[in-house]
Structure 1
Amino acid sequence: MRVTADLWVSALLRRVFGVGGFAAVVNRGATEAGAVFILARGRLGETALYGPAPQTSYDSAKPEDRFFSLLAAGNDAAVLDARLEREKKFDPDLWVVEIEAGSVPIEELISVKTP
C-alpha cells in the first residue's frame, strides 16, 4: 500500500532538515494522491526539476515506492518555473517541494531513476 502524498512530503521535509538542508512546500496538492515534483536548488545557483518517473520504472515487487526522473536542469530558474506552470495546467493537484539539500546529493533524499 502506497502512503499518501501528504505523508510522503512530510517525511521528505524531515529528511532534508535532518541532514542540514532546507525544504519548503511551494504548492500543496491533493492529500491522498497528488503527483510530487521536486525543485532542487544548489547553493551556487544551479537548479534541477524532478518529476514522477514513468510507470515503466516501477518494479511490481515494490509498487509502493516513489521514483523520480530528472525533467530539466540548468541555471535559468525561469525555464523550470515555466515548466512547472505547464504541469500545473495539466494537473492542478500536484505538489511542488523546493529543496536546498546543502552538502547531501539530492539522490540520497529521493529515489531517482534514469530513463
Structure 2
Amino acid sequence: MTRLTAEFWVSAYLRRLQLSDIPAFVTSKGDATAGAVLVKLNSLDGQACCYQRSFDLMSGERAWVVLAQGVEADVDAAVVKQRSFDPDLWVIEVEDREGRHLLDEPGLAG
C-alpha cells in the first residue's frame, strides 16, 4: 500500500477543515515526506487536547489517540516535549469552540 507523504496529508487535512469553516494552521512544519503529525484542538476556552496517530495493538490499525488534554498551557508543554524528541514533527492547531477536529471522518481517521 502506498503511503501519503506527511506534507500531502497535512495539506489535505487543512483543506477539509477549511471546507467545514474550522480555522487551523501549521505551528511546526516537520519532515515533508515522513514526519509524524500532532493535532492540537484549541477549544478557545483555556482548554485543549492534542492527538497523535498511533497503532492499535489489537487490530493493527492506525488510530488517533489523545497525547495530552486539559489546560492549554499543559497541552502546549506536552507538544514542546514531543518536538524535543522528534524535530521532524508536524504540529497543526485547530481552533473550534465546538471541539470539531474531523479526525474521525473517513480518510482522516487512520
TM-score range, shorter chain: 0.7 to 0.9
- Render the CA deviation track for 1:23-54: whole Å, top value 9, x for unaligned: 10000000000000000011433310001213
Contact 1:35 1:94 in 2 (8 A): yes
User: Structure 1 residues 16 and 102 mapped into 2: Cα distance closer, same or farther (>3 Å)?
Assistant: farther
Structure 2 equivalent of residue 94 of structure 1: 89
Q: From 52, 72, 79, give the equivalent of 1:84.
A: 79
Aligned length: 105
Q: 1:68-111 CA distances to partner (integer Å, 9 max, x unpaired)?
A: 1111211x111111111111111110000001245573244542
CA contact (8 A) 1:43 1:102 kept: yes
TM-score for the superposition, normalised by structure 2: 0.82
Note if contact 1:20-1:101 (Cα within 8 Å) is conserved in structure 2: no
Q: For 2:91 and 2:85, how far apart are their aligned partners in 1?
A: 14
Give 1:62's aligned residue: none
Q: Gaps spanning 5+ residues in structure 2: where?
A: none
Identity %: 34
For 2:66, which of 54, 67, 70 is the aligned residue?
70
Secondary structure of the corresponding residue to residue 111 of structure 1: coil
- Please give the root-mean-square deviation of Cα atoms over the aligned residues, in Å: 2.1
- Within 5 Å, give how 1:40-59 maps onto structure 2: 40-54=41-55, 56=57, 58-59=60-61
Q: In the aligned structure 2, how far is the partner of 1:102 from the partner of 1:108?
A: 17
> 1:46, 1:78 → 2: CA distance?
8
Q: Normalization by structure 1: what TM-score?
A: 0.79
Kindly indicate whether structure 1 or structure 2 has the higher relative contact order, using CA contacts under 8 Å at least 6 residues apart.
1
For 1:4-15, list aligned pairs within 5 A.
Answer: 4-15=5-16
The structure with more helix, counted as a fraction of residues = 1
Name stretches of at least 5 consecutive residues in structure 1 with no aligned partner. 60-65
Whole-Å Cα distance in 1 between the matches of residues 54 and 11 of structure 2? 20
